[in-house]
Amino acid sequence: MINHILFDLDGTLADTADDLANALNAIRLKHDLPKLPKEIIRPTVSLGGNAMIKLAFDLEEGDTGFDGIRDEFLNYYRANIAQETRLFEGMEKVLQSLEDENKPWGIVTNKSAWLTDPLMKAMSLDKRAACVVSGDTLEHRKPHPAPILHACKLMHSNPATTIYIGDAQRDIEAGRRAGTKTLIALYGYIDADDDPNSWCADGMISSPLEIKNKLSELCNS
């Protein structure tokens, strides 16, 4: 049986892309650059802030000006962290069902805690999650398995009876290395050039509402 469920945050549990895109475009305007279409920004969201800065400003980590622009971007995002962010459609029903069945759920994200914690609070999820492991909780981040193993420890769960759901290759790699089952959230921030079929997950879902059926399938397989 799968008794514990772990979610990636951005692109899996919550649709954060609009707030992140708005923050990125606000900083582009500040630097006299035109806004980028949100559909161009969206696939980079799960890759983190550095990837978004590279996209929007053609800067690599270590380049002159990179750190300053990244700070501007993240500080703007932090000040406007939940203006448009919402749970993906159907996710509230999934969470409620898990809670009704006494199946603890938690978060494992590469987002830093100074951004994760206020976002979880703003969405009224901070008291509901059995654990929240951020990108700076430990020395390692995904795709290293340590954050998922730490989440299992916090939830008193066995990785073998836990599933991790994410929308990026590093999510699936981290889950597999930790010994959990894995699901790919195809509704998340997956680039057109990505090949989820090559990630070796235990399954894929096109919407949160498919999670319950997938859990049953995996338990019976």
Residues classed as catalytic:
8, 10
The span from the CA of 64 to the CA of 62, in Å, is 7
DSSP-assigned states of every residue in 28-84:
HHHTT-PPPPHHHHGGGGGG-HHHHHHHHH---TTSTTHHHHHHHHHHHHHHTTTSS
Dihedral over Cα of 10, 204, 183, 205: its sign: positive
Residue type (1 letter), 196: P
Token pair belonging to 85 = 């962010």
